[in-house]
Amino acid sequence: MEQTIPGYISALVKPLPGRGSDRRAWSIPLAGVWLPFFTATNTAGETAIEAEALGAPLRLQYEKDGTPKFSQNGKPVIRIVKELSEQIRLVRENFMAGLLSYAQTVQKAMPGEYKAQVEVAQKAGGTITTQDAAALTAYFEVLKAKAVADQAEAEAETKSKRKAKPSPAVEQAIAEAEAKAAPAPEPAGVPA
């Protein structure tokens, strides 16, 4: 049985050249993709997104007291207008459903080939996963050894400070301070 791949699926996996920087929603450029798409769906009558949402898709956020909201780094908080965000969420959910539907169609039409592809991928990925785990384990062992060495060094330094005898001037100052802090002896023969 010959399987024909739909053109829209082939188009999804074809790389396209980059288009510069643009605010993104769901990792897709807002001005470069979403706005033209939703303008087209409005034109075709498939959606009824307000003109102001398409005209001003980015909105300054406000605090409860009505003042502009700022992030911790001092930049104003700007978000995509809710109506547009909801439409993007709907497209994303439908897109995921389409991807899963396609995967299930191929899995049913070519169960042997699909299973073989899964096994090859798992075997190839297993090698990489094992290498990554070994690299992490080795790195953690190095960190552990360094922490143990640092702790031993700190303990040795603390012990050497305890064993070091203070200079005679320091000993005299300590003795004088202790003498001043000690209570005066009571005269002999006076009851307490």
Task: At 171, list the tokens.
Answer: 């000993």
What does the pLDDT look like over 10-45, one tens digit per residue?
Answer: 666 666 655 556 888 988 999 999 999 999 999 999
Per-residue confidence of the chain (192 residues) as pLDDT tens digits?
566 777 766 666 666 655 556 888 988 999 999 999 999 999 999 999 999 999 999 999 999 999 999 999 999 999 999 999 999 999 999 999 999 999 999 999 999 999 999 999 999 999 999 999 999 999 999 888 888 888 888 887 777 766 666 677 777 777 777 777 666 666 555 555
Q: Is 25 exposed, middle or buried (0-12, 13-18, 19+ CB in 10 A)?
A: buried
Angle between helices 111-163 and 82-109 (to 10 degrees): 120
**Helix, strand or coil for residue 76?**
strand
CA distance 7 to 11: 6
| pLDDT at residue 124 in the model | 92
pTM: 0.58
Cβ pair 26, 88 in contact under 8 A: yes
